[in-house]
A and B are shown apart, each in its own frame.
Chain A
Amino acid sequence: MSTVTATPVRWRQARYLPIAASLALLIVAYGFGATRYPAFGDGQVVLNILIDNAFLLVVAAGMTFVILTGGIDLSVGSVVALSTVLCAELLRAGLPAPVVMLAVLAVGAVLGLGMGSIIHYFEIQPFIVTLAGMFLARGLSYTLSTESVSLDDPLFVAIAQTPVELPGGLRVSISVLIAVAVLLVAGYVLHYTRLGRTVYAIGGSNRSALLMGLPVARTRVGVYTISGFCSALGGILLTFYTLSGNSLHAVGMELDAIAAVVIGGTILTGGSGYLAGTVLGVLVLGVIQTLITFEGTLSSWWTKIVIGALLLVFILLQRLIAGRAR
């Protein structure tokens, strides 16, 4: 919503409200788990949430850029799947692991670049273009392989299985370090560079950004490229996690990513939100997933239902705030 001017102070406070809400939700969910299960409070359980969701962190970071411009990227789940299959197939073809990783990242970025270009230059709605991209990437991965291919490349196995020791006997995976690095870079770009400011400006008002002489074309195409790149990287991180390439990986992951961004307080119409919120959003989803696992009696489909319900609640919350700010 581009309803900024009239009451700047109140709007400013309202802007932090969704983040505060998701932080509160995180604390409540975690506190609930910690009181119900003593093991839940263990530091390693918290770190496991990061280990299990490193790929989602990276994908959601890319999605944050897109949503901040007022767009949406429905192709991320399929691009993640395509990346895992590409990794497996290229390794099977005998390419060295570093080359494979670079190639996969390039494919993701090029897919994003293509979608962004079509969206910007031909003025087609982002959701339909990225929906086609979703088809395309999923179709490509099916065409490459319909079955799960396991990875046994030494470099991939080494990255997957080398734990990073932290003080206090805790450990994380290398994927978590990569995800944190991506988040730091993304946070810097979004909040401290011209590109980041242009992203916010476009989300606030595409037309105003254009009239101000900002590089709208480059930036709009850029955010989809970033999202494609992040999805490909997320796919690589997922192969570290599962050590397999499978065209059925990450079905419905686009919703997880969008939910994380929205729960983190980024407004779907663009222009307002923080990367830190997205991290909170992923953590909320991770805690809920862990809770459902700990609960034991609840099956995996409850995750989908709860994520859907949460997304609904947060969108309603945003509507409420946007309505009041107006």
Chain B
Amino acid sequence: MSKYRLFWPAAALVALLLVNLAISPSFFAIQIRDGHLYGTLIDILRFGAPLVLVALGMTLVVATGGIDLSVGSVVAIGAAIACAQISTLPDQNAAGGVFGALGVALALCLLLGLCNGFLVSVIGIQPIIATLILMVAGRGLAQLVTGGQIITVDSDPFRVLGGGYWLGLPAPILIALGVVAATALVVRRSALGLLVESVGGNPEASRLAGVRARGLLVLVYVFCGLCAGLAGLMVSSNVSSADGNNAGLWIELDAILAVVIGGTLLSGGRFSLGGTVLGALLIQTLSTTVYTVGVPPESTLLVKALVVTVVCLVQSPAFRARLRRRRKPPAPVPASAEPKVEVPA
């Protein structure tokens, strides 16, 4: 069964792509303009890259049985810090200054992740609550940094991150791909992934087995914060501005959804990076589909809410058991009814 874990998300993605193809026949068309690849599929990958990153960090957090609601705010803070720094540079096109700004932004996001991890692992606060604090206070912080305004920047090196190309492919896709590959390598080629899963599966047992749960927990939240920060840089680079209020708004929900669709259990204990990437792409495709089908964009949230509910229900053992029970009774009933008929005869 676990061999085919990726089957359902992949099937759903293919089905969704086919629906799109049926609606607009040019859906799969990919053109080369100025040596760069263009097309709807490329766009889905490109705009989905930040979500892939955020969902990647979220996967490891969820694998430990936790959750990080603060990623949306961390996206906003990362974007705000980077843009605020770049906008004060004397020369916004100086690569050194831009790199410095990106470094500061990422370092701060790492620190925020560290705070989350500390609250969860050392103090022992439930992950939902620990990260809920940063979810709302973090938006306040982002607004504080931007002064409640939208900071716009005009920096060529910064624009590369969200809008650049390399080997004909948009930079966000390559960056996301790189981070996913590196994470997969580190997590699956070492015992790290196994340890994370053991902490999520049974914290007490893994502690007794000598797993350092505390350090691991801090590590996954730090990683999640870093991923969210990188996604924030990408998002802000793409529009050359930072909006403390709206950057990364509701991305935590998309990320959780991507993780769950990808077959990672919310209760922790096992995870699938490939599934998460598929899940994130599925959500991005869903958003695109909502537009191509002509559903008003306001209803995107509605569609997602229904998808979350259905996915969670399908995953729930209680729901499955109930379905099975409902399906079974019809079988015994005629069986017991038949002998009754036979007895008088």
Point out residues on A near B: beta carbons under 8 Å.
Answer: 72, 118, 121-125, 127-129, 131-136, 138-140, 142-143, 146, 252, 255, 258, 262, 268-269, 299-305, 307-309, 311-312, 315-316, 319
Contacts and interface: CB of A to CB of B under 8 A. Distances in A.
18 contacts: A127-B67, A127-B128, A128-B266, A129-B312, A132-B309, A133-B305, A135-B305, A136-B301, A136-B306, A139-B300, A255-B133, A269-B126, A300-B148, A302-B140, A304-B140, A308-B134, A308-B138, A319-B123
A136 B316 contact: no
A121 B322 contact: yes
SS of A interface (majority): helix
A212 B317 CA distance: 25
B256 interface: yes
B296 A143 contact: yes
Contacts of B267: 125
Given A299-B148, A305-B141, A308-B134, A123 B316 contact: yes
Contact of B304 (A139, A252, A269): A139
Complex A-B, nearest 4 residue pairs according to Cβ-Cβ distance, in ascending order: A308-B137, A304-B140, A139-B301, A139-B302
B312 A72 contact: no
B144 interface: yes
A132 B308 contact: yes
Contacts of B308: 128, 131-132, 135
Interface residues of B, number: 48
Interface in B290-332: 296, 298-306, 308-309, 312-313, 316-319, 322
Given A305-B137, A308-B133, A308-B134, A124 B301 contact: no
A315 B319 CA distance: 34
Nearest to A305: B140
A309 B137 contact: yes
B139 A252 contact: yes
A258 B266 CA distance: 22
B170 to A, nearest CB: 29
Contacts of A142: 298-299, 301-302
Contacts of A125: 266-267
B14 interface: no
Contacts of A136: 301-302, 305-306, 309
Interface string B5-36: 00000000000000000000000000000000
Contact of B316 (A124, A300, A307, A311): A124
A140 B302 contact: yes
A75 to B, nearest CB: 10
Contact of A268 (B126, B256, B309): B126
A140 B301 CA distance: 8
Interface of B: 67, 119, 123-126, 128-130, 132-141, 143-144, 148, 244, 250, 253, 256, 260, 266-267, 296, 298-306, 308-309, 312-313, 316-319, 322
A293 to B, nearest CB: 16
B140 A135 contact: no
Given A303-B140, A315-B125, A316-B123, A124 B298 contact: no
A268 B140 CA distance: 24
A132 B148 contact: no
Contact of B140 (A72, A129, A133, A301): A301
SS of B interface (majority): helix
Contacts of B298: 139, 142-143, 146
B133 A118 contact: no
A78 to B, nearest CB: 9
A307 B305 contact: no
A73 B256 CA distance: 17
Contact of B299 (A143, A315, A316): A143
A251 to B, nearest CB: 9
Given A252-B136, A262-B129, A308-B137, 4 more contacts: A122-B322, A128-B266, A139-B305, A142-B298
Contacts of A307: 136-137
Residue with the highest number of chain B CB atoms closer than 10 Å, among A121, A125, A127: A127
B2 to A, nearest CB: 21
Nearest to B133: A308
Residue with the highest number of chain B CB atoms closer than 10 Å, among A139, A140, A146, A262: A139
A309 B144 CA distance: 15
A122 B137 contact: no
A110 to B, nearest CB: 15
Nearest to A135: B305
A135 B132 CA distance: 16
A303 B137 CA distance: 9
A138 B304 CA distance: 11
Residue with the highest number of chain B CB atoms closer than 10 Å, among A129, A140, A304: A304
Residue with the highest number of chain A CB atoms closer than 10 Å, among B138, B140, B302, B319: B140
Contact of A131 (B136, B256, B317): B256
B132 A255 contact: yes
Contacts of A301: 139-141, 143-144, 148, 244
A315 B316 contact: no
Nearest to A256: B136
B305 A122 contact: no
A305 B77 CA distance: 13
Nearest to A315: B125
Given A135-B305, A136-B305, A138-B301, A118 B141 contact: no
B125 A319 contact: yes
Contacts of B137: 304-305, 307-309
Contacts of B119: 312
A121 B124 CA distance: 28
A135 B252 CA distance: 12
A123 B140 CA distance: 34
